[in-house]
Homo-oligomer: A and B are copies of this chain.
Amino acid sequence: MTPNTARRKETSRRAILTAAFDLSQEVEYAKLSIEGIAARAGVGKQTIYRWWPSKGAVLFDAFLMLSEGAEGEQPALPDTGDLEADLTAVLRATVAELNDPRYEQPMRALATEIAHDPELAAAYAERLDGPLKEAKRQRLRSAQRAGQLAEGLDLDVAVDLIWGPVLNRWLQRGAPLTTEYTDLVVTTALNGLRSRATTETAG
């Protein structure tokens, strides 16, 4: 039932993933079709259906191929010792990527597929977002060890507190995603919403 991976044709696999990624930026999401991907890749439709369970899974693998090609396995955030500066810099890069016409539509496509497909979401969490999230946690852990972050801090929550607002604003298009906004998110997340005076004098 599961096809024999050994006999798989690597050139076709790459052609499909490349076609999927390229088309997802060229045509609007609703018109991204398996038929179109197969045609662009010069491949029979069955070759796609044989190896991937859904359009979203193809897209996911396309991103995976890209990320594997680009990175030297373990990604890491910059660590200059200045956490706020480092986070600000990273988020500015993220904003640039999210607004980059080469990536925006493909990323929206993947994000919405994930929103409707738990299995795909799990794969994403594990294989694409996982390493990235670990890098983020590492940077925060480093700052925590240096006494810059609260001791009892839940690092997962901390990561969400910084990236959650940004990703949510981007995906839901509440407002344009700017570096001013992300800079402010970093500062506010680090300092918290509370009035300093209140807490400090209370202490």
Contact = CB atoms under 8 A, between A and B. Distances in A.
Nearest to A107: B115
Contact of A193 (B118, B147, B149): B149
Contact of A157 (B144, B158, B181, B198): B181
A37 interface: no
A124 B124 CA distance: 28
- Where chain A touches its partner, the secondary structure class is helix
Interface of A: 28-30, 108, 111-112, 114-116, 118, 121-122, 124-125, 129, 140, 144, 147-151, 153-154, 156-158, 160-161, 163-169, 171-175, 181, 184-185, 188-200, 203
Given A125-B173, A164-B169, 8 more contacts: A122-B173, A124-B172, A144-B195, A148-B198, A153-B193, A160-B168, A164-B168, A192-B192
